[in-house]
A = this chain, B = another copy of it.
């Protein structure tokens, strides 16, 4: 299955855990694997803390320090920082399905990582039974 998210900012992490949980529930799969895949090159997906929204801000700012938005980049579109961050965060995450639900730690949520927004982004979810 797939869904779309309209991001609101240039850079943001958007909690998409509820979409993944719905996808798992609708699949009817009790035990298996859920693979979340983002088919974009300036957006990614990661798992991190949902308890304090400052963590999201700190992650984005930490990334900006290591990979500045403006730098000596060649790519004509001017969004190379976003390509680097997307490659580092990765295009997919794996979630283990137990008892018909993705198994996440207490503080873990799945985040769509927008690095070159605002845009409409697609997210694919593949459920494997097993």
What residues of chain A have their CB less than 8 Å away from a CB belonging to chain B?
32-33, 35, 37, 39-41, 46-49, 52, 54-55, 57-59, 61-63, 65-67, 71-77, 80-81, 83-84, 86-96, 103-108, 122, 124, 126, 128-130
Contact = CB atoms under 8 A, between A and B. Distances in A.
A71 B62 contact: yes
A11 B84 CA distance: 15
Nearest to A84: B62
18 contacts: A33-B128, A35-B94, A37-B95, A37-B96, A39-B105, A40-B107, A41-B108, A48-B83, A48-B86, A55-B75, A55-B80, A58-B73, A58-B74, A58-B84, A59-B83, A59-B84, A91-B94, A128-B128
Given A58-B74, A59-B84, A86-B48, A33 B126 contact: yes
A103 B124 contact: yes
Q: Copies of this chain, how many?
A: 3
